Amino acid sequence: MTVQIQKLKMLVAGEWRESSSGSFSSIVDPSNNQVIAEVPKASREDAEAAVESARHAFDSPEWRDMDPSKRGRILIKLTGLVRENSEELARLETLNEGKLLRESKGDVAWAARTFEYFAGLADKIEGETIPVPPKRLNYTLREPLGVTVHIVPWNYPIALASRSMAPALAAGNTIVVKPSETTPLTALKLGELATKAGVPKGVVNVVTGSGAEVGSELVSNPDVDGIIFTGSAETGKQVMQAAARNVTHVLLELGGKNPHIVFPDADLSKAVRSVKDGIFTNAGQMCWAGSRAFIHESIYNNFVNELVAKTKVMRLGPGIEETTEMGPVVSKARQETVLGYIKDGVAEGAKLLYGGKRPSDPKLQQGNFVEPTIFEDVTGEMKVGCDEIFGPVLSITKFQTVEEVVSMANETDYGLYGGLWTSNLKTAHDVASKLQVGVVAINEYLVTFPQTPFGGFKESGIGFEQGIRSLQYYTRTKNVSVNLA
């Protein structure tokens, strides 16, 4: 299909601008590496201007002091606009990130639900009165933090931008969004829709630029009050160090190496499908990918045979084509990284059951495709067993007892997500309580809602997104004591 290459602008201070240097970056379709758009390559100065714009918008009280019900209505309008534009947003996401069109449609629907959920909470952010010794009134105020910076990765561009934009705006903050340099298209569109919905000038800024220049300026800027960073653990640590210099609030949503455990009393046909989808959805490029499967020894052979059989027949292709079951990885660099990990796995003695290469189909040679890949006999010491590969690579390990599998599942620096399959309630709750992860799914996988908390333990992050309590991060608490004597 032909795509018209558009030269886009970014949103700063309510205006659509080019970068101060006038330079652009090319955005490509990972299924064929053809350029689909040009976006401004923002500079450090552009990042400073975006923070200044958000600061100015926060200090002029139109947004911060707006009747919160009205703020909620603006977010409801934004929800409606996201829904009205869902076809275009989903196509943009698929062309830019490579995921299946139906996955993009799900992400856009999730983004709309997130704006809707937090719109409803805008006028429910309440302080409290606190009993103290007599002749006094003591109460707390929940104020917006101020200027918040939202650094977004490339694997769920619209869902993750919306996940932090919605609560930040509901609470009355003014924001600067920096999408990934690889996938900025839907965030720019969200900026346009927020403006259309009636968000005042300067409240939402979207700057397109690199992490090294624009991202690092945003997280080091002393005029920023809160950072919401979603990305790799390595970058997250740098962000936290930069934030420490100005004592800026920081919320970190980082990587994972997630266990997906199958007990023999599970619904095995559902479990096979879930283990497969838990790693090959979005070509495995998911913080919550079930990249380590632990299968009980009594069902091991049949389970693994069926899993491999189902994986072998997966159709690879561009995400935009209806019949495709797995798309490309996002970039040539990612393709090289993933293939490098597969080589390491073989060298370290893991047994390659399926995949492991670029597909041979001549139609896929221009894109960044990697075959869905399955290893068995993987240990926690191997790179494939402990590093976040962020690609379609599954490691399988056999287990015998609950104690053994819990110990292996927790043998990682990460602690984001975990899944388990069993029909025994006692096993389910027992294992859920013992897994060192922030979110557990029982008898399903890849499930989260705008109203349920999502965040990681250990090196998977600090704090959590989603749910009513996430608003705590986007507000600051002030205590007021009044002497009535």
d(CA 191, CA 373): 38
Are residues 12 and 49 in contact, defined by beta-carbon separation less than 8 angstroms? yes
Interface residue with ligand NAD among 110, 115, 156, 445 (CB under 6 A) is 156
Residue 287 annotated to the active site: yes
Tell me which residue has tokens 């290469």: 357
Q: Is 254 in the site for ligand NAD (CB under 6 A)?
A: yes
Name the token pair of 397.
């390990």
Q: Is 328 in the site for ligand NAD (CB under 6 A)?
A: no
Residue 38 annotated to the active site: no
Site map (CB under 6 A) of ligand NAD, residues 272-311, x = contact: ---------------x------------------------
- Span 29-88, contacts to ligand NAD by CB under 6 A: none
Q: What are phi and psi of 461, to 5 degrees?
A: 145, 180
Stretch that binds ligand NAD, among 88-96, 137-145, 150-158, 313-321 (CB under 6 A): 150-158
Supply the minimum distance, in Å, between the C-beta of residue 163 and ligand NAD: 8
Supply the minimum distance, in Å, between the C-beta of residue 233 and ligand NAD: 6
**Cβ neighbours of residue 347 under 8 Å, at least 6 residues apart?**
none
d(CA 379, CA 385): 6
DSSP helix/strand/coil, 451: coil
Max Cα distance, the chain (Å): 84
Interface residue with ligand NAD among 98, 202, 211, 372 (CB under 6 A) is 211
* Number of amino acids touching ligand NAD (CB under 6 A): 32
- Span 391-450, contacts to ligand NAD by CB under 6 A: 416
**Cβ neighbours of residue 141 under 8 Å, at least 6 residues apart?**
127, 477, 478, 480
Stretch that binds ligand NAD, among 248-256, 340-348, 379-387, 472-480 (CB under 6 A): 248-256
> For residue 334, which amino acid is it?
R
Are residues 115 and 166 in contact, defined by beta-carbon separation less than 8 angstroms? yes
Q: Is 191 in the site for ligand NAD (CB under 6 A)?
A: no
From the list 202, 201, 190, the residue with the least C-alpha distance to 92 is 190
Site map (CB under 6 A) of ligand NAD, residues 358-397, x = contact: ------------------------------x-x-------
State the CB neighbour count (10 A cutoff) for residue 205.
29
The DSSP output letter for 364 is: G
Residues of this chain that interact with ligand NAD (CB under 6 A) are 151-156, 160, 178, 180-181, 210-212, 215-216, 219, 230-232, 235, 238-239, 253-256, 287, 388, 390, 416, 456, 461
Catalytic positions are 253, 287
